[in-house]
Amino acid sequence: MSERISKRVSIIKMKKITTVLLIMACLILGSAGEGVQAGALDSFKDEKGVLKIAGGTAHIPVMQEVAKRIMEINPEIQITIAGGGSGVGIKQVGEGLVQIGNSGRKPTDEEIQKYNLKMFQWALDGVGIIVHPDNKVRNLTKAQVIDIFSGKIDNWKLVGGPDKGINVYTRDEASGTREVFWEKALDKGAISPKANFVASNGAMKSAISKDPYGIGYVSVGHIDETVAPVAFDGVLPTLDNVKQGKYTISRGLYSNTKGEPSGLTKKFIDYLFTPEGQKIVESNGFISIK
């Protein structure tokens, strides 16, 4: 009997030791994880100064989150972020007004040569067609999209919708989102002079969410329940479809610098390519390039 009791006590002790070891292992792994997270930002601890960023509006949520993390770890760093569109970002970085100019399109050869640009693509994105959630039209062919945005098709009933006029929304010519949509969805065709102009992805989403007869386009990462995505030639604008190459209205997201980046600028761009930076990319609805 005493031998059985002794064995049971030994088993209980072993279980307790195993539990303690498991808890210690979890704590060590947790600490290691925190160390990795801090490590990616460690290079900013000894920096100070101002970093100015401008350009593509699709980039802004990622830029804001990265800037927040950097400034939290080092308050002596100040990062300002502005929109304006891809053309503005490229022009301002080229003229030395900002250190990073974001663009939702690859800069042209002329822009690269004129400004000595260095390009850093840190994400892949799609540009999706959107309508109001009450609109039952959820699939359009490329030909129909071209005719709608040119003004040739001006009533929803012609594409299976209600007998109501179509309100077209677009971006200005400085927008990289417009550039990609114009090139890949419209085959560089005309956009109706009656189209309503909006200044950003956020403004486009807001406008369409309030207009039952509107149609526009936004970065796929901006699509939510306030608007309804429209399939393009039968393919919905989803991250998976963009990633697999099924959805063809897609583009890279770039951060551009004038010449090779250095100092704070280089560290900011480098952080975008770290595992943490790419997690921020994915959490904002874009596709990691890793």
Domain range list for the chain: 49-124+252-288, 126-250
Q: Where are the beta strands (DSSP E) in the chain?
A: 49-55, 77-84, 100-103, 117-131, 139-140, 167-171, 196-198, 214-219, 228-232, 250-258, 287-288
Q: What is the pLDDT of residue 213?
A: 98
Percent of the chain exceeding pLDDT 90 equals 81
CATH code given to domain 126-250: 3.40.190.10
- pTM of the model as a whole: 0.74
More confident: 167 or 24: 167
pLDDT in tens, 127-171: 999 999 999 999 999 999 999 999 999 999 999 999 999 999 999
pLDDT at 38: 54
Inform me whether the pLDDT recorded for 51 exceeds 50: yes
How long a stretch of residues is the chain?
290
Instruction: Read off the pLDDT of residues 27-47 as tens digits, 9 standing for 90 and up.
Output: 333 333 333 345 789 999 999
pLDDT at 27: 33
The reply to whether 126-250 shares the fold of 49-124+252-288 is yes
In CATH, the number for domain 49-124+252-288 is 3.40.190.10
Tens digit of pLDDT for each residue in 2-16?
A: 444 444 444 444 444
Give the pLDDT confidence of 71-127 residue by residue, as tens digits: 999 999 999 999 999 999 999 999 999 999 999 999 999 999 999 999 999 999 999
Calpha distance 148→278 (Å, rounded): 36
